[in-house]
Amino acid sequence: MSAPEGRTSQPSFGRYRDPSLLGQGGMGAVYKATDPQLDRFVAIKVLTHREPKYVERFRREAQVLAKIMHPSIIQIYEIVGSDEEQLDPYIVMEYFEGKPLDTMLKMGPLPGKTMVNILRQTAEGLKKAHSNAVIHRDIKPANIMMAANGDVKILDFGIAKALDAKKDLTGNTVLGTPYYMSPEQAMGQPIDARTDIYSLGITAFHLLTGKRPFEAKSKVDVMLMQVKNPLPSIHDSVQGVDDRLVKIVERMCAKQPQSRYQNTDELVAALDELPKSLGGRVPDGSGDSQPSVSAKRAPQPPPPPPSTSQERPVKASTPNVPPVRAEAPRPGTPRPASSPAAAPVRAQPPQAQTPGRTPRQPTMPPVTPARAAQAMGVSGTPVPRPDVFRGPPAAVPKPSRAWVGIVIGAVAGLVIAGGALVWFLKAKDANKPGRVPAKGWIYPGAPAPPLKKVQANGGYGNCVFSTKPIEAGKEEAAQMRTIFGTNEGIHGRCYFAHQVGPNKAGEVWQELWVDGVKRAQIIYDPPLPNDDDQLQLEPGVQHASRINELPSGKHVFSLWIYRQGEDAENPEPLAAGEFTVRK
């Protein structure tokens, strides 16, 4: 157990002796100790946060580690502590003499061969986890250690997800590290083994370049970049990286899961196809192991003139498409001769073509003297002349005045009926469940923030939205929006009518209504600070998957923040806001 607060005595862990602190965080600490019975060092991970939810998650980590024994995964020996005991629970596990990769990165990027070794061992360990229906969800340099002899270990399965678990201990919260998080994980979508492959790919990018691919001021903006921004060029960050390594990393980091390696077996197979000099299995000097190194990208030279007999290959830059290696021509197969450059022609609509045939060009009918004469109006057949003025047209009888009155009355009736229909539809739309009132908002006066308003009929606050993060105390009314496109960021801030007050995990939540239908409920865990009277929202990230699934048209998003204490019979609305998404 760990030492109680306020005391500096050495902690005691049963038979384990001479504990020394290796590291400490908000949830617990890790010690190095000696097991005198087996004469070996052990690592002891202590949980000092005693809430039942975290205790259960802590035990789940021990259970996960116990069933996925693999040389690339830290092994567990035992777990000590129960709910009845007053001791902090702890896990006794294998002690590994190595350094976390984030510590090694402080010295600069790692060589490509070292990176391949790390990828292979980590992928093999993840293969074992995935075969037991366990997704790590937090692969990053800090959770991978490497020893001096090159051995690699995966750490921290604390937020791992068991795909066959009946209960997900993480709830609706998006867990993981934004800098290495997959797009589907950032959007709260279902995840599988390809999520860990993406995170391992971002880790590989960091190892090769010495920096993370996506950086921003806030974690939410980093998550948005993971979803929308393409992977930066590795060649633009560092020189001398083999193109084959770059292709592997780029495929691992594809935005769409179906464009990545579908499992760790495919990834390991791609690594094995590299030459031994890069950490692969192919002997150096073979046809497939010829070096292909690109320095920093420079302007390409102009293409050769048409008379040159050898063509210059051009790379296509299609995003998220797995790279395909060109196969060498079989022996005896004649090499196609390059054709001279063709003169530019006007683009034609795509047509179905027979392979191996040149599409026929449209031809104009032959111009004969007779056809030309006919076109000029000098053929034997007289060409009709345009109409000439032959006087005013025949008079049209005027309608009677009775008919005029009837027409006017009918038009007026249609106008009135149309106006009534529009009013009815608006009233019906405004009365849909979940809609936020459009009227009744009152500014409470200074010193309240200038954008804060309180609903007179409900006593709750308002929410405002913008394409940029809304910082407290720096709100600008001109930047606020109520209509957004699907390709725009959506950030929000809610103002409570009063401080949220004492609250526990699960007592404050957010409800999302789309076009009058409830679509999501997000529980705030950990609880909000008691003195909070504002709440920052990121609907563009939290509800990105729902925005992407919208059909074409306008859609109203209504957000409500509720709180319900243990003794309250009904939930209390804290704030509400509304915006429209056009797709």
What residues contact 352, with CB distance under 8 A and at least 6 apart? none
* Rounded CA separation 31/19 (Å): 6
CA distance from start to end of the chain: 56
* Rounded CA separation 270/525 (Å): 41
Residue 293's SS3 state is: strand
Angle at 318 between CA 315 and CA 323, to 5 degrees: 70
Say how far residue 486 (Cα) sits from the centre of its chain.
14
**Site of tokens 């993840």:** 126
Q: Are 123 and 264 in contact (CB under 8 A)?
A: yes
Residue 508's SS3 state is: strand
Token readout for 454 is 């309180």
Residue 442's SS3 state is: strand
> How buried is 309 (Cβ within 10 angstroms: 0-12 exposed, 13-18 middle, 19+ buried)?
exposed
* Rounded CA separation 71/128 (Å): 10
* Rounded CA separation 126/178 (Å): 20
> Please, what is the angle between helix 243-252 and helix 193-209, to 10°?
140
What ranges in 190-308 are assigned the alpha helix state H? Answer: 193-209, 219-228, 243-252, 264-272
Q: Are 203 and 139 in contact (CB under 8 A)?
A: yes
* Rounded CA separation 397/395 (Å): 6
Token readout for 4 is 């109680």
DSSP 319-364: TT----PPPPPPTTPPPPPPPPPPPP----------TT-PPPPP-P
* Rounded CA separation 209/212 (Å): 8
* Rounded CA separation 100/140 (Å): 10
Handedness of CA 472, 478, 479, 483 (dihedral sign): positive
Quick check: is 138 catalytic?
yes
DSSP 97-152: --EEHHHHGGG-PPPHHHHHHHHHHHHHHHHHHHHTTEE----SGGGEEE-TTS-E
What residues contact 561, with CB distance under 8 A and at least 6 apart? 463, 494, 496, 508, 509, 510, 535, 573, 574, 575, 576
Active-site residue among 18, 39, 88, 138?
138
Q: Are 75 and 64 in contact (CB under 8 A)?
A: no
Which residues participate in catalysis according to the annotation?
138
